[in-house]
Amino acid sequence: MAKAPAVGRVKTRLVPPLSLDEAAALGGCFLRDVTANIALAGRSAPIDGFVAYAPAGSEALFESVIEPGTGFVLADGSPSMPAGVDGFGRCLLHAVQGLLARGYGAVCLVNSDGPTLPTAFLVEAATALAVPGDRLVLGPADDGGYYLIGMKQAHAPVFAAIDWSTERVTSQTRDRADAIGLDTVMLRSWFDVDDVASLRLLVDALDGGGRDGSYGAPETTRWLAETDMRRRLARVAGPA
């Protein structure tokens, strides 16, 4: 799931300490690493990578910053949606519908904010969905949202009446799945990078102080080193 990496549209919560240009550049690095990680997972499981993108017509803005061979599916939430599916939920459901319409038996939606997400988590999600029977797969994020949601059918209720961008997203999504009798497979938790505190976590992880199994995120690692991000973050007030 990704916005076009244009200046002023992505990673704006990191401005400051980043400039708008830097925020867009970092967003592009995230996209390259996330799509490369998905391609790597595809060597161990039957996975095809797509950018579920918005706005319509912005594909060219992605082409230089994604892994070669990655496809595109529009996910701007523009089609008519069931009652209660609002905000970001419309984009998520649109992406699920678009990929299932292409003939896939299951879909996993992954955010573009976790460049160090372990490849093993992606393989685990695909493996869980390959088992016969309907189910939901959720990868909870440390902030209460989720970094991954997978399903075999476009279950609109799991996107309905969700308080998006809050710590309640994962718990509410599980509640919606329970309400329709849909079993949920929970992956291990991971972190998103959407503010200065989580950017510090990212720098630590890529310097070797992160959790075991992290994807190396080479493009992001290179950019953080070139911009001397650890030193710059040390000057910013906030959690160490």
Domain range for 159:
2-233
pLDDT tens-place string over residues 104-148: 999 999 999 999 999 999 999 999 999 999 999 999 999 999 999
Picking from 154, 129, 116, the residue whose alpha carbon sits closest to that of residue 46 is: 129
Question: What is the rounded CA–CA span in Å between residue 164 and residue 172?
Answer: 10
- Nearest-CA neighbor of 13 among 197, 234, 195, 239? 195
Q: Is residue 190 part of a domain?
A: yes
Cβ-Cβ contacts under 8 Å for 54 (sequence gap 6 or more): 3, 4, 74, 75, 76, 77, 91
Cα–Cα distance measured from residue 124 to residue 19, given in angstroms and rounded to the nearest whole number: 37
Amino acid making up residue 180: I
Q: What is the pLDDT of residue 210?
A: 61
In angstroms, rounded to a whole number, what is the distance separating the alpha carbons of residues 146 and 141? 5
Share of the chain above pLDDT 90, in %: 92
Q: Is residue 132 part of a domain?
A: yes
Q: What is the CATH number of the domain that holds 7?
A: 3.90.550.10
Confidence grade of residue 236 (pLDDT, cut at 50, 70, 90): confident
pLDDT tens, residue by residue, 155-168: 999 999 999 999 99
Tell me the per-residue pLDDT of 16-31, one tens digit each, with 9 for 90 and over: 999 999 999 999 999 9
CA-wise closest residue to 67 among 24, 104, 34: 34
- With cut-offs at 50, 70 and 90, classify the pLDDT of residue 213: confident
- Domain presence at residue 68: yes
pLDDT at position 240 over 50: no
pLDDT digits (tens, 9 = 90+) for 177-195: 999 999 999 999 999 999 9
Residues forming beta bridges with residue 72, ordered by sequence position = 51
Q: Is the pLDDT of residue 66 over 80?
A: yes
Any domain includes 239: no
* Position 238 in a domain: no
Total of domains in the chain: 1
Does the residue 78 lie in any domain? yes
User: Sorting pLDDT into bands at 50, 70 and 90, what band is 238?
Assistant: low
Cβ atoms of residues 57 and 63 within 8 Å: no
109 inside domain? yes
Q: Is 240 part of any domain?
A: no
Q: Tell me how far apart the alpha carbons of residues 211 and 201 are, in angstroms, rounded to a whole number.
A: 10
Cβ atoms of 202 and 113 closer than 8 Å? no
- Strands 136-140, 146-151: parallel, antiparallel or unpaired by DSSP? antiparallel
